[in-house]
Amino acid sequence: MDKDRIARLMRELGVRGVTRSKTTITTRPDKSSPRAPDLVNRQFRPERPYELWVSDFAYVATWSGFVFTAFVIGVNSRRIVGWRTAVSMTRALVMDALEMAVFSRRVQLINGVIAHSDAGSQ
């Protein structure tokens, strides 16, 4: 039997496979919030250091629940320049990661940096 046939038969019988963990919705975009413009036009090739940072979240399942990590990556160096971990997903979590990046790279060195992120609500 092929995979499609098994999937069809399972659907017809109302049978589902077992999963090891619960399905968790981790992305909830804020549709009422305006999206920031894409200043790099999806071209992630900086010409100089400290020209472009990208940021995002990671969700990590632990024994006691999810932990949220926000991080900022210097695109030129491909290094994490700022990060923060917390038990809740808040705006402060994201701002702490960005502030760590600014502090660790010294403000005078990052004049004009573009901080790019997805369309998350934080």
Chunk the chain into consecutive blocks of 10 residues (it has 122) and report each block's average pLDDT, rounded to whole numbers: 80 79 63 71 72 81 85 85 87 87 71 68 52
Q: What is the pLDDT of residue 103?
A: 84
Q: What is the pLDDT of residue 26?
A: 58
Residue 25: its pLDDT value, please? 61
Q: What is the pLDDT of residue 121?
A: 52
Residue 94 within a domain:
yes
pTM of the model: 0.64
Using alpha carbons, select from 104, 97, 91, 28 the residue that is nearest to residue 69: 97
- Let me know if residue 116 belongs to a domain: yes
Residue 81 burial by CB count (10 A; 0-12/13-18/19+): exposed, middle or buried? buried
CATH number of the domain encompassing residue 55: 3.30.420.10
Domain-embedded: residue 18: no
SS3 58: strand
Query: Residue 108: what pLDDT?
Result: 56
Q: Does 81 fall in a domain?
A: yes
The count of other CB atoms within 10 Å of the CB of residue 15 is 9
> What's the domain range around 121?
36-122
Q: What is the largest CA-CA distance in the chain?
A: 64
Q: What is the pLDDT of residue 84?
A: 92
- Could you tell me if residue 49 is inside a domain? yes
Tokens of 90: 């808040």
Domain assignment present for 121: yes
Measure the CA–CA gap between 38 and 116, rounded to whole angstroms. Answer: 8
State how many domains the chain has.
1
